[in-house]
Amino acid sequence: MAANWKMYKTASQTVAYFERFRPLLQGPSPCDIVICPPMLSLPAAVSAASGSNIAIGGQNMYWEKEGAYTGEISGEMLYAEGASWVLVGHSERRRLFCENDSDVLKKAQAAIEANLSPIICMGERLDEHKAGKAYDVLIRQFASGVAGLTEEQFAKTSIAYEPIWAIGTGQTATPDIASEAHQIIRSEVEKRFGSDAAAAVRIIYGGSVKPDNIAGLMAEPDIDGVLVGGASLDPVSFAKIVQAA
Ligand code: 13P
């Protein structure tokens, strides 16, 4: 159950969030909980989450370890600050910052090298969805991105299916639509990495996940978790989503 806060919350707002969020989680969680704050708030999140089973992730990273890359942050730097996960290839990164599948692959490989677990994001645009091309897009993104990982690297990777038309629009993919897309991705995993990898990989769904639609999504066997944007900004609503899992 992962939260992508995008460009929201300062360090002090992050601390206030954890003060409210942590008491809402009752008992040991049967699932991994990951919160991805903005980079500047990440150290505050790591310290506010300490002693809990909430892990912290970056929202992006560069694939080089260090160097003259103005404005960038490496996987090693994220790891040194206490992150254990990182989102890679979010559609906002692809659309607004021109990332392509080969960048996504390099970032995922560098993340693993830096001891981070990458969550590789993929998903189709509205026009592609309407034209019935969603599966072609997923297969293409898989082939030119994820498929370049070794089996060992893939074992440390999760995939997020985030149809772009569902992100921030309130238009969640129905459990059926999401589940079918997850099955397509899982079958690509099976072809490339084998059936054990296909059974083990976590494929999570993102796009307008809310407390009132989480139950239907999580009831699908092929949906292993969710990546939540807007609804994760409110500790009460993200706690409800986590509890539903
Ligand atoms: P929303 O939950 O706001 O639709 O965002 C989804 C997302 O992009 C998570 O990475």
Kindly report, residue by residue over 193-231, the tens digit of the pLDDT: 999 999 999 999 999 999 999 999 999 999 999 999 999
Q: Dump pLDDT digits (tens) for 30-85.
A: 899 999 999 999 999 999 999 999 999 999 999 999 999 999 999 999 999 999 99
| Pocket of ligand 1 contains residue 211 by CB under 6 Å | no
Count CB-CB contacts under 10 A for residue 95. Answer: 11
Q: Which atom of ligand 1 is nearest to the CA of 227?
A: 9
Are the beta carbons of 229 and 6 closer than 8 angstroms? yes
Predicted local distance difference test score (pLDDT) of residue 245? 83
162 is catalytic: yes
Work out the percent of the chain whose per-residue pLDDT is above 90: 96
Residue owning the nearest CA to atom 1 of ligand 1:
229
Residue 236 pLDDT level (bands cut at 50, 70, 90): very high
Say which CATH number the domain at 213 has.
3.20.20.70
Q: Distance between CA 11 and CA 13 in Å, rounded?
A: 5
Catalytic residue among 124, 128, 162, 188: 162
Q: Dump pLDDT digits (tens) for 152-187.
A: 999 999 999 999 999 999 889 999 999 999 999 999
Are the beta carbons of 145 and 101 closer than 8 angstroms? yes
DSSP conformational letter for 232: G
What is the tally of structural domains in the chain?
1
Secondary structure class of 86 (helix, strand, coil): strand
Least Cα distance to 115 among 55, 70, 159 occurs for: 55
Q: Dump pLDDT digits (tens) for 128-155.
A: 999 999 999 999 999 999 999 999 999 9
Residue 132: give the domain boundaries: 2-243
Q: Distance between CA 59 and CA 76 in Å, rounded?
A: 14
| Pocket of ligand 1 contains residue 201 by CB under 6 Å | no
